[in-house]
């Protein structure tokens, strides 16, 4: 007989809505501005753009829509190629296909698990041909036009190296910063580094609007075009004249109201995440076979999801066995995403040196990291992880 599903008492990453969220949503209801018009959308866009030191913020229905729009406004065309992180949630790779372009999956580096700039450099130098009008993948014959690094788990990619390659080869850089609002790279905000960057405000992210996203940029042409495309490409709203095929990607005022309140709380939320990470790292330093995620000297992570690598030999159980044991104790944990080079959804896509991503996928487990995780619950997670296996 199979056992009943375990009751989860310590979730992985839940929202924290303890500030002005209720008051601002009530304001939307009281004024009946609940849909796409209303003051909160603009306030939210300004708050996020100001936080990441960008001139433009365009709110969208979710992070995936922001990424899709970013590729459109960056001018990435059908038949071009985009170098993208292999170890990522699937959304950025899907959006490359939405615009008819092709992903080339670049493996992770072993230290901080982000897109490996050395592999990007090697791919561009060894696998590509350099013509007057751009850089072309020798194997596919397609033009490489963009790098799309994904700052996973709250930790930035090594952007200096990637930006230098982008300059050298004339490539656009789109940051997928959906998991890393609040992180810094060499003193600069994640999301302020590429030509355009995207955030997600899904329920499990650092701040949430229920569902939502945002594209940020300093480029007026990209900012204006993003606003145009995400609002059905309307040339004349009175006469319903649309200049081209646009999208209904707008965020509603109710969601933006949540967002404005969440932005007020952001510094505190990131601080809590950092304290949680510090506590975990100190505890796991004493536990053989559990290797905590590290932070680069050039990074200040926002520690979105605290993740460890499980050494099956040293612990007598692998990451999935530990996940099941945690679940039995009511504690939620989660492996990293299946790397994209193994994904059936992208089986016909080229990949480049993805061995590290595959190893990380096998061994990694994300642990409860909600900003409102109590010390008592965190102690319980630590004790359960540290306890001997079955
Ligand atoms: C790396 C990454 N990119 C994109 C997204 C898509 O964001 P959304 O779920 O808001 O569409 C997510 C998360 O959900 C993500 O983790």
Work out the pLDDT band at 371, boundaries 50, 70, 90: very high
- Residue 114 CA: distances (Å) to CA of 91, 119, 187, 293, 355: 16, 11, 18, 12, 13
Ligand 1 pocket at CB < 6 A? 62-64, 88-89, 91-92, 150, 176, 178-179, 200, 202, 213
pLDDT by residue (tens digit) across 151-166?
999 999 999 999 999 9
Distance 36 CA to ligand 1 centre (A): 22
Query: How far from the centroid of its chain's Cα atoms is residue 255's Cα?
Result: 19
- Please give the sequence-ordered ranges of beta strands (E in DSSP) within the chain, or none if there are none: 56-60, 81-85, 102-106, 128-131, 134-137, 143-148, 172-176, 184-185, 188-189, 196-200, 213-217, 234-236, 241-242, 290-292, 299-300, 307-310, 350-352, 364-366
| Cβ-contact 311, 321 below 8 angstroms | no
- Cβ neighbour number for residue 233 with a 10 Å cutoff: 15
Res 377 pLDDT > 80: yes
Ligand 1 closest atom vs CA 64: 11
Work out the pLDDT band at 5, boundaries 50, 70, 90: low
User: Residue 20 has what pLDDT?
Assistant: 98
Res 256 pLDDT > 50: yes
Res 244 pLDDT > 90: yes
User: Residue 4 has what pLDDT?
Assistant: 54
Rounded Cα distance between 385 and 311, Å, is: 12
Rounded Cα distance between 316 and 222, Å, is: 52
Work out the pLDDT band at 1, boundaries 50, 70, 90: very low
Ligand 1 closest atom vs CA 67: 4
Rounded Cα distance between 222 and 10, Å, is: 42
Query: Of all helices (H) and strands (E), which one includes residue 199?
Result: strand 196-200
pLDDT by residue (tens digit) across 264-297?
999 999 999 999 999 999 999 999 999 999 999 9
Q: Take residue 205 and report the two structure tokens written for it.
A: 């992210």
Burial class (CB in 10 A: 0-12, 13-18, 19+), 250: buried
pLDDT by residue (tens digit) across 115-141?
999 999 999 999 999 999 999 999 999
Res 8 pLDDT > 90: no
CATH class of 21-263: alpha beta
* C-alpha angle 237-238-241 in degrees, rounded to nearest 5: 55
User: Residue 36 has what pLDDT?
Assistant: 87
Atom 16 of ligand 1: nearest residue by CA position? 89
Q: Take residue 225 and report the two structure tokens written for it.
A: 């075009």
* More reliable by pLDDT, 2 or 208: 208
- How large a percentage of the chain has pLDDT more than 70? 98
For residues 34-52, give the mean pLDDT: 96
Ligand 1 closest atom vs CA 152: 1
For residues 98-121, give the mean pLDDT: 98
Rounded Cα distance between 178 and 168, Å, is: 26
User: Residue 388 has what pLDDT?
Assistant: 83
Q: Pick from 115, 150, 178 the residue to mutate for probing ligand 1's pocket: most ligand atoms within 8 Å of its CB.
A: 178
Half-sphere exposure of 319 (CA within 13 A, CB side): 21
Q: Pick from 67, 71, 89 the residue to mutate for probing ligand 1's pocket: most ligand atoms within 8 Å of its CB.
A: 89
| Cβ-contact 375, 102 below 8 angstroms | no
Atom 7 of ligand 1: nearest residue by CA position? 63
Q: Do 266-386 and 21-263 fall under one CATH topology? A: no
Q: Pick from 60, 64, 114, 207 the residue to mutate for probing ligand 1's pocket: most ligand atoms within 8 Å of its CB.
A: 64
Ligand 1 closest atom vs CA 179: 16
Query: Of all helices (H) and strands (E), which one includes residue 268?
Result: helix 253-284
CATH 3.90.1150.10 corresponds to the domain 266-386: yes
The DSSP code for 208 is: -
Rounded Cα distance between 369 and 278, Å, is: 11
Mean pLDDT of the residues in the chain: 96
Distance 205 CA to ligand 1 centre (A): 9
Res 369 pLDDT > 80: yes
Domain map (residue ranges) of the chain: 21-263, 266-386
């Amino acid at each position: 007989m199979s056992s009943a599903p375990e009751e989860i008492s310590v979730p992985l990453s839940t929202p924290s809505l303890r500030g002005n969220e209720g008051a601002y949503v009530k304001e939307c209801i009281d004024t009946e501005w609940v849909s796409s018009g209303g003051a909160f959308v603009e306030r939210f866009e300004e708050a996020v753009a100001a936080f990441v030191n960008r001139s433009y913020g365009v709110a969208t229905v979710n992070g995936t829509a922001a990424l899709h729009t970013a590729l459109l406004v960056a001018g990435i065309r059908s038949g071009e190629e985009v170098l993208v992180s292999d170890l990522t949630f699937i959304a950025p790779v899907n959006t490359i296909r939405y615009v008819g372009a092709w992903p080339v999956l670049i493996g992770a580096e072993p230290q901080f698990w982000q897109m490996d700039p050395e592999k990007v450099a090697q791919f561009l130098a060894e696998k590509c041909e350099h013509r007057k009008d751009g850089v072309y993948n020798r194997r596919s014959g397609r033009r490489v036009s963009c790098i799309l690094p994904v700052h996973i788990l709250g930790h930035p990619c090594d952007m200096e190296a990637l930006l230098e390659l982008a300059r050298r080869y004339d490539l656009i850089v789109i940051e997928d910063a959906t998991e890393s609002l609040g992180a810094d790279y060499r003193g600069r905000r994640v999301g302020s580094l590429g030509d355009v960057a995207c955030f997600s405000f899904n329920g499990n992210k650092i701040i949430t609007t229920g569902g939502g996203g945002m594209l940020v940029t300093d480029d007026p042409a990209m900012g204006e075009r993003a606003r145009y495309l995400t609002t059905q490409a309307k040339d004349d709203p009175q006469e319903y004249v649309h200049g081209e095929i646009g999208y209904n990607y707008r965020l509603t005022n109710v969601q933006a109201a949540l967002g404005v309140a969440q932005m007020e709380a952001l510094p505190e939320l990131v601080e809590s995440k950092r304290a949680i990470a510090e506590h975990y790292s100190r505890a796991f330093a004493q536990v053989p076979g559990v290797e905590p995620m590290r932070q680069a000297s050039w990074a200040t992570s926002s520690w979105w999801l605290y993740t460890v690598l499980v050494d099956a030999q040293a612990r007598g159980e692998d990451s999935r066995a530990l996940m099941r044991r945690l679940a039995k104790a009511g504690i939620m944990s989660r492996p990293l995403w299946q790397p994209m080079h193994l994904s059936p959804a992208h089986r016909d896509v080229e990949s480049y040196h993805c061995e590290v991503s595959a190893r990380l996928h096998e061994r990694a487990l994300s642990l409860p990291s909600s900003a409102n995780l109590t010390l008592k619950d965190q102690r319980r997670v630590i004790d359960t992880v540290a306890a001997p296996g079955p």
